[in-house]
């Protein structure tokens, strides 16, 4: 598995930070040794739709290492307010920059 992956933002849940159609480059190895921090933008696997990934911001990290994620546009975001904490193993990686198609 390559350490860097590109993901497309598919909805408006991260506006104004990220817009639909934007791409983020993600470091898949970012959390092999460290923990996510509040404020990190991450790609996570949806808790019930296993083929779906979400781009969200880490709001907090539980003592067990699960992450609470939120969209920057709360009125348009499906996030931990609906489905609870995301287990650390469902984090795909940390976004570190945007990219054009």
Active-site residue set: 13, 56
Cα Rg of the chain, angstroms: 12
CA distance 60 to 7: 23
CA distance 60 to 62: 7
């Amino acid at each position: 598995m390559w350490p860097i992956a590109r993901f497309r933002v598919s909805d408006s849940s991260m506006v104004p930070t990220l817009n639909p159609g934007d791409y983020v480059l993600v470091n898949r190895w970012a959390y092999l040794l460290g923990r996510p921090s509040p404020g990190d933008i991450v790609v996570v696997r949806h808790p019930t739709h296993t083929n779906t990934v979400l781009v969200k911001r880490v709001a907090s990290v539980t003592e067990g290492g699960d992450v609470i994620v939120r969209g920057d546009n709360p009125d348009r975001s499906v996030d931990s307010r609906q489905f609870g904490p995301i287990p650390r193993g469902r984090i795909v990686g940390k976004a570190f920059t945007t990219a054009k198609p």
